[in-house]
Structure 1
Amino acid sequence: MTRPGIHFLDARGPQGMRLYAIGDVHGRLDLLSAMHRRIESEIEHKPTADWRVIHLGDYADRGPDSRGVIDFLIEARKRDPRHLMLAGNHDIGFLDFLDTPDPDGLFMRFGGVQTAQSYGVSLTADASWFGKAESVRQGHAALVEAVPQSHIDFLQSLAFSVTFGDFFFCHAGIRPGIPLEQQSPQDLIWIREIFHDHPGLYEKIVVHGHTPVPEAEVMANRVNVDTLAWHSGKLTALAIDGADKRILTVTGEGEGS
């Protein structure tokens, strides 16, 4: 039986629980810290019976301080388990590289060099294929030594989705026509066009990141809060309080400034 869809304007969070969903961080500890300060200030000055802060994945790669971001999130979750962290494709790619150093994999091609630098490890790619493979192999050994077990445990602990009220949270999106509880982890961290282009309503509003947009994208069936923080200097979140939905942004220095 087909489940009825819900429109963003009609969607509500759980009664008495305020939700915050933060987009892709990609090593921008400065922006993540600023967003947490803003959220903490809101909760202090406008108290709520309960709350959750949901991080939508992609903590590593591209930006300058992946190690610092992961440390920050580990501490936040230890301090209060209402801080929830979901897996992004770059977080799984980091784990994959630590397991198998693929010179042409996601990690090496899209920002893993910066991640390694945050752990004090230099990853370089020589011009020749053999030189590149050997260089990556040596850098991989150093990175495996440098990454704390607590960071590996954290990355391995990440859930692929979570739901509250009329909202479903994941990194990339869902496959239309598949019930939410049957979505594949691969789609939840990688899907794009077939999800973005789907015109119909889903059984819940899908809150996601993964595909950068200049401003938060609020659609009838989904909300995209990935505003390319590592490059733009702008980190975005969706705040949900009952029927009230708001976009929050914090800004810092961008690569172009």
Structure 2
Amino acid sequence: MRLYAIGDVHGRLDLLAAMYDAIAAEIARDGVADWRIVHLGDYVDRGPDSKGVLDFLIDRRARDARVLCLSGNHEQGLLDFLEAPSATGLFVRFGGVETARSYGVELTAGSIEAGHSALAAAIPAGHREFLRSLPTSASFGDFFFCHAGIRPGTPLERQQARDLVWIRDEFLLHAGLYEKVIVHGHTPGTAVDIRPNRVNLDSFAVGSGRLSALAVEGGAKRILEATVEAVSQRAATTP
């Protein structure tokens, strides 16, 4: 089996579509018999087209069960806002304005209640169902996939959902090996961060214009990137 893990998208549908083109081309070229694509969460907020990203992922997951989507803290933040709107919550403070705009809704600090009502009406039921359906982890072979990381000292099967989507310093600062290599996102960096015990695929797509993925097949491991240049090339070749 060939595994692809894709880092934080944050509304960059252009980069996500370019990444899928690259993966599809590899699979066709190499005649891969079996594969999985694992998304590590944070599909919404900050970037320009969160709605488009969710449409894309819902469609791809429905067409092929080998596409796996995990939850990130920003998906949780959107669900929390829909449940109980707050001007101080994650959604409003960290990119929810852009998410709302992708649904045709303007969300401002002075009109949170009105914005919440408009957004709740604008988000399709299928998007809510998708967000609620997302698991917080997946495991294949020697690799464990989650959005944020794991709590050191706790067995993988006993990890708490909140840690899997929110943990940061305790996980990032732990130098010891885990039961498996942890493949995660959540903490943006200027490039993919590869350590003996973990791989961070959050290359800040929304700001860097670079979406990163890890490909694993047997003992071979490599990094793929979808860039704004790839998006331009894709646009030039699309009828």
TM-score, structure 2 length as denominator? Answer: 0.95
Correspondence for 2:85 = 101
Among residues 187, 195, 200, which one is paired with 1:219 in the alignment? Answer: 195
Q: Given residue 214 of structure 2, which amino acid in structure 1 is its aligned partner?
A: L
Secondary structure, counterpart of 1:212 in structure 2: coil
Secondary structure, counterpart of 1:206 in structure 2: strand
The list of structure 1 runs, each at least 4 consecutive aligned residues, that deviate by more than 4 angstroms after superposition, is none
Correspondence for 1:233 = 209
Q: Given residue 46 of structure 1, which amino acid in structure 2 is its aligned partner?
A: D
Aligned partners of 1:110 and 1:193: how far apart in 2? 19
Asked if residue 79 in structure 1 is aligned to residue 55 in structure 2, the reply is: no
Asked if residue 203 in structure 1 is aligned to residue 179 in structure 2, the reply is: yes
Asked if residue 43 in structure 1 is aligned to residue 27 in structure 2, the reply is: yes
Among residues 32, 41, 55, which one is paired with 2:16 in the alignment? Answer: 32
Correspondence for 2:6 = 22
Q: Given residue 197 of structure 1, which amino acid in structure 2 is its aligned partner?
A: L
1:113-152 correspondence to structure 2 within 5 Å: 113-125=97-109, 132=110, 135-152=111-128
Question: Aligned-pair distance for 1:28?
Answer: 0.2
Question: Aligned-pair distance for 1:175?
Answer: 0.3
Aligned partners of 2:32 and 2:179: how far apart in 1? 26
Question: Aligned-pair distance for 1:213?
Answer: 1.0
Percent of aligned positions with the same letter in both sequences? 62
Aligned partners of 1:79 and 1:154: how far apart in 2? 14
Aligned partners of 1:167 and 1:213: how far apart in 2? 21
Aligned partners of 1:54 and 1:38: how far apart in 2? 15
Secondary structure, counterpart of 2:45 in structure 1: coil
TM-score, structure 1 length as denominator? Answer: 0.88
Higher-Rg member (1/2): 1
Q: Given residue 102 of structure 1, which amino acid in structure 2 is its aligned partner?
A: S
Question: Aligned-pair distance for 1:52?
Answer: 0.2
Per chain length, whose mean CA-contact separation is higher, i.e. which structure has more relative contact order (CA < 8 Å, sep 6+)?
A: 1
Q: Given residue 91 of structure 1, which amino acid in structure 2 is its aligned partner?
A: E
1:172-187 correspondence to structure 2 within 5 Å: 172-187=148-163
Residue ranges of structure 2 left out of the alignment (5+ in a row):
230-239
Q: Given residue 140 of structure 1, which amino acid in structure 2 is its aligned partner?
A: H
| Structure with greater proportional helix content | 2
Aligned residues: CA RMSD: 0.7
Secondary structure, counterpart of 1:203 in structure 2: coil
The count of aligned residue pairs is 229
Q: Given residue 85 of structure 2, which amino acid in structure 1 is its aligned partner?
A: P
Aligned partners of 1:252 and 1:102: how far apart in 2? 34
Using the TM superposition, name which of 143-152 and 189-198 deviates more: 189-198
Correspondence for 2:40 = 56
Asked if residue 190 in structure 1 is aligned to residue 166 in structure 2, the reply is: yes
